[in-house]
């Protein structure tokens, strides 16, 4: 039986936007990945939690965004793990729950520059492949010792952020084109980020 290769795309998704979907779709279609799993994280220990919507709202938005994408799924595994969430623990839990799958970690180049600050980062590199997407104007150097485990992916550069989305909503801008339609409707209906 062929082992599945699953890309773990972890984030707060506050909110999920078209850039996230484009990147995940690229990773699925243009790399070796069979699926991409969006892991909604309760709180990234390296980020400020202020302005973070509740876990369930963000999970609901990701579920809505992924409707119709057969090779992209949402995971709430970090909601069942001790907090704060550490990627090494998330990957270990996923591996325990799905022993016939291989999990690769999808991160941005900005996270790669901080990777040596992550809990047990060496263990992540020993046990998982990393797929890195660069940010606009960013070089992503990979030292020779990691080149068999770490791959920079030439994904299209999409300069959209959740911070931009939230600020635009607060400013009363129409950002419908930046969000999946059902996520836009969810945000509008609930009056989020205003």
The domains of the chain are located at 4-157
For residue 45, the model assigns a pLDDT of 62
Q: How deeply is 143 buried, as exposed, middle or buried, from its count of CB atoms within 10 A (0-12, 13-18, 19+)?
A: exposed
For residue 158, the model assigns a pLDDT of 87
Cα-based distances in Å from 152 to 89, 92, 128, 181: 24, 23, 15, 30
**CA dihedral for 17, 20, 25, 28, sign (positive or negative):** negative
For residue 83, the model assigns a pLDDT of 87
DSSP 141: -
Cα–Cα distance for residue pair 59/53, rounded to 1 Å: 10
One pLDDT digit (tens) per residue for the chain, 194 residues: 679 999 999 999 999 999 999 999 999 999 999 999 999 998 766 666 677 899 999 999 999 999 999 999 999 999 999 988 899 999 999 999 999 999 999 999 989 999 999 999 999 999 999 999 988 777 888 989 999 999 999 898 888 999 999 999 999 999 999 999 999 999 999 999 99
Cα–Cα distance for residue pair 60/24, rounded to 1 Å: 18
The CATH topology of domain 4-157 is Rossmann fold (3.40.50)
What is the spatial order of strands in the sheet that 130-133 belongs to? 72-75, 35-40, 4-11, 101-108, 130-133, 150-152
Query: How crowded is residue 85: how many other Cβ atoms within 10 Å of its Cβ?
Result: 20
Cα–Cα distance for residue pair 151/131, rounded to 1 Å: 5
H or E segment and range at residue 124: helix 121-127
């Amino acid at each position: 039986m062929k082992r599945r290769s699953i890309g773990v795309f972890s984030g707060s998704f506050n909110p999920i936007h078209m850039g996230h979907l484009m990147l995940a779709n690229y990773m699925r279609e243009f790399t070796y990945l069979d699926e991409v799993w969006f892991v909604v994280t309760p709180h990234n220990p390296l980020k400020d939690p202020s302005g973070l919507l509740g876990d369930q709202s963000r999970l609901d938005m990701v579920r809505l965004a992924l409707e119709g994408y057969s090779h992209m799924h949402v995971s709430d595994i970090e909601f069942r793990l001790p907090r704060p969430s550490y990627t090494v623990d998330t990957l270990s839990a996923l591996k325990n729950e799905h022993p016939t799958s291989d999990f690769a970690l999808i991160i941005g180049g900005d996270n790669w520059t901080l990777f040596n600050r992550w809990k047990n980062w060496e263990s992540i590199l020993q046990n998982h492949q990393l797929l890195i997407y660069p940010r606009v104007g960013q070089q992503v150097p990979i030292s020779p010792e990691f080149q068999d485990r770490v791959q920079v992916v030439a994904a299209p550069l999409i300069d959209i952020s959740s911070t931009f989305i939230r600020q635009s909503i607060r400013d009363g801008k129409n950002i419908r084109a930046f969000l999946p339609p059902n996520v836009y409707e969810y945000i509008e209906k609930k009056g989020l980020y205003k």
